[in-house]
Structure formats: C-alpha cells, structure tokens
Amino acid sequence: MCGVFGAFSLSGRPVLEDVYLGLYALQHRGQESAGVAWIDNEDHIRTRKGLGLVHLALNQADLATIPARSAIGHVRYSTSGESYVANAQPLVVHYRGGGIALAHNGNLVNAEKLRGDLEDRGSIFSTTTDSEVIANLIARNYSLGYQEAIVKALEKVEGAYALVITCEDKLIGVRDPYGLRPLCLGKFADGGYILASESVAFDVVGAEFVRDIEKGEMIVIDGSGVHSYTYSSSKERAICSFEYVYFARPDTTMDGRNIYESRREAGKILAKEHPVDADLVIAVPDSGKSAAIGYAQQSGIPFGIGLIKNKYMGRTFIQPNQKMRELAVRLKLNVLKANVEGKRLVLIDDSIVRGTTSRRIVDMLKAAGAKEVHVRVSSPPVTHSCFFGIDTPSRKQLVAATHSIEQIKEMIHADSLGFISAEGLVESVGLGDNALCKACFTGHYPMPIPLKTIPHVAEKN
Ligand code: SF4
C-alpha cells in the first residue's frame, strides 16, 4: 500500500512539480513518508525525501526550480521495513558508471531469501525494505543493459509490485505478472508521459488517461516516446480486489472500472443480500460512503450523514500500530447526534479487519441515542493475511479468522451484521471472477507463499 508516480517530458519542460502534485493526489495510499528522485544535468541521481505528508516531507517551491525532465516519486505506507526516513523511497542504487532510482508499491514474498543471497555475495543494504532487494538485483545485472537487467531481476522476485524507475534519461514502469498492484499511463498535453498508481493523479496535473499497464508489462519512456515490452505472460490476472473495496480513491478508474461505481454497486448487492427494516442509511466516512449510497438506492431507505470526519486525520486502517489506530478513531470520527437520535440505522463500512473500530463506532452511535445499529459490510469477511503489500500481517489479528459472524455481531454490539458475499464483490467489480485476487477472503493465494513468510508458521519454527 504505497503510491508511485513518474513523469517524463518530451519537450524538456521540468516535471518535478508535477511529481509533487501527483504524489499529493496519491496521499491516501501512504502517509508515512514521501520522496522524489531525478537525474540532474551531470547524470547524477538526486533525491529529496522526508517523513510525513507530502507537503511536510517535500518543498514544492524548491522542486519547481529544478530542471529535471524525468523524475519519479513515492508516498509510503510500510508493510515491510521500519518507519524511518532511511526507508523512504525512491531508493537509489549505484553501479559502476551510473545508478538507478526506484519506487515500489507492493511486497515481495521471497525478499528475505533474496536479501540473504545478495548479502552472501557482498551486497550491503542501507534500508530494511524489500524494495531495495529489487534495486540491488537490477544494479547487479546492469552490464546487460537496463532492460535486460530489470527482466533478470524480476525473474527472481516473487510477489506484488508496481515499479517506477528512472535511469539513463528514461522513465520505466513495470507491473507484476499478476497485476496485483495497479499502474497506469497518462499523457501531458505537451506530449510528455506519466505513470501513476491511480488515474486520479493525472487530473491534478492536467494530463489525460491513456491506459492501464498490463500484468507482466514493462513500459519504457524516452525521448522517442513510449515502448511496451511483455516480460512475463504465464500468470493469471489477480488484481487486488481490496483496491475496489477500500484503497483506491472513488474518482479513480482502475483496470477499466470506476471505483465509485464499483462500490455503489457493492452497496446495492449488499442491500439485496442483507435487507433490513430501518430509518436511515449512514456510512463510516469516507470509504463507506459510495457503498452506502448504493445500499440506500437499492433499499429505498434514505441516505444521511451520521458520522462526521475530522478531515485532517489520516486513514485508521493504515496507521502502523494498534495504539495509533485507537487514538486515530477517537480523533477522527464524531456522531451527528441530531441525525441519529431515536433512529434505526444501517451503518455501512467497507471492511471489518480487527473489529475494534466497528465496536467503537457502534457504541458511539448508541450513546448518541440510535435505537438500532445494523452493520453492513461491503467486503466479505477478511479471514486470511495479505502478503502482497497490505497490512494484515497475522491471522490472529483478523477477527473473522477466529470468530463466527454471530460472534462478531455480539463483539461489535451491532443489532445485526451482514457481509457482502465473495460472489457479490466480484459482481460489483465487474471484471470477472478470474481477474481478481480474493486471497484475504478465500485463502487462495495467486502464488505459493513461503512458509517462513507466514507469521504463525514462522513463530512455530
Ligand atoms: S490478499 Fe487481499 S488485500 Fe492482498 S492483494 Fe489479494 S485481495 Fe488484495
């Protein structure tokens, strides 16, 4: 769960301010750190990085003065590696005669082994991220040329990745062989190009969406335009279904499907699968809102505001530890008492992961006078950990892995509880059953997960 962005100008126009603005639009994908990298006039790779939100980590005015025609950027939420500035991306790796800068969204399942092998052969790592493993593998093979070096590196890595890379006055984008993590291509009006995790980042810089990068595809952008290469075609598509449930912004269109439409459809399906007699449909803001609108449209129950969000808070699910998450809920949400008092509510949330946030919200609503709170969830129960860059590290922490739906209902103090079915979610996304990764709902991972990577197995061993 990170955001990547890259820009290349064909006219020579500086692009670093565009990268800054693009990262701003991708801020929801990571708030721990932000960074940019570019190649200067003397072919040296330069970076600026900092902790926190984009506007705190980077100086827009400073970046606007730098004459870089190719640059990349990253906003980070850590699922591997600690949360300090050395782990902020882009990462830079030098090799004889040059260097590359790389920004990565995703997670490798074999990073630990690869890292050990590289260290045995003399590589020294300056971060604790698995992204540096990819950068190192590329640098090791650089004598083969950048394209071959990247392909050789990717042959070794297993997992999820959307990469943007700058080297040799080129901007390169790569999407993993399953298409787990998103990446798309946009075009500036003056002929330059952009790569970004979400199409929403194009709007802010006045660029237009061209297309999604395909699974197993590498895009190379240089002075002669865009070149596409398929480096892997043997895997089935497995786009992360959680992008449609929660991660992506509603105004993004991803792999041909608008996120708002997908969520609204999920709300409609949820209303058909779990109807209830109630006075008002409310959402856990902001990510439950689109599904709540769909639920209201399908059920005929009016949609209203029941919870007010402090806009200046980050997203609770992506705060790195439980203590921060609990504090974040209290700071983030408050009840609109006048709207909920004496009412039977349908409360729409996008997911229940640990259950603690849901219980706190139900309690707040009841304390404010709600007569009944019926919780409806627009994703199926999360029963398995994600190993592809989303922070659900241990099954023990997933309430649906260890409790029945009835038990969860009791635990969160709801009057009733219903989750959308896996089939319903697939239908709402509309890309077909085979196009999606649903491993956190089903336990069927698109690739083998090394036992050492699975926390409860690693603990036993
Ligand atoms: S396991 Fe779940 S969160 Fe992880 S990539 Fe698959 S669908 Fe997305």
The residue to mutate among 388, 426, 441, 449, having the most atoms of ligand 1 within 8 angstroms of its beta carbon, is 388
* Phi, psi for residue 370 in degrees, rounded to 5: -65, 135
Distance 384 CA to ligand 1 centre (A): 9
Q: Which atom of ligand 1 is nearest to the CA of 160?
A: 5
pLDDT for position 168: 84
Distance 294 CA to ligand 1 centre (A): 23
H/E segment holding residue 373: strand 372-377
Token pair in block for residue 205: 């810089």
Q: What are the pLDDT tens digits along the chain (461 aa)?
A: 799 999 999 998 999 999 999 999 999 999 899 999 999 888 889 999 999 999 999 999 999 999 999 999 999 986 555 556 778 899 998 877 778 999 999 999 998 899 988 888 888 888 888 888 999 899 888 888 888 999 999 999 999 999 999 988 899 999 999 999 999 999 999 889 999 999 999 999 999 999 999 999 999 999 999 999 999 998 999 999 999 999 999 999 999 999 999 999 999 999 999 999 999 999 999 889 999 999 999 999 999 999 998 877 655 545 556 666 667 777 788 999 999 999 999 999 999 998 888 999 999 999 999 999 999 999 999 999 999 887 765 788 899 999 999 999 999 999 999 999 999 999 999 999 899 999 999 999 999 987 666 554 333 32
pLDDT for position 458: 37
In DSSP terms, 332 is beta-bridged to none
Distance 243 CA to ligand 1 centre (A): 8
pLDDT for position 78: 67
Orientation angle between helical segments 356-367 and 322-332, nearest 10 degrees: 30
Determine which residue's CA is closest to atom 2 belonging to ligand 1.
Answer: 440
Catalogue the E-assigned strands of 27-158: 33-39, 45-51, 70-76, 91-95, 98-108
pLDDT for position 454: 56
Distance 34 CA to ligand 1 centre (A): 24
Q: Which residues are catalytic?
A: 2
pLDDT for position 373: 98
Side-chain-side CA neighbours of residue 333 (13 Å): 23
Ligand 1: which residues within 6 Å by Cβ?
180, 240-242, 386, 388, 390, 437-440
For 69, 276, 391, 396, the CA distances from 457, given in Å and listed in that order, are 47, 41, 18, 12
Q: Which atom of ligand 1 is nearest to the CA of 441?
A: 2
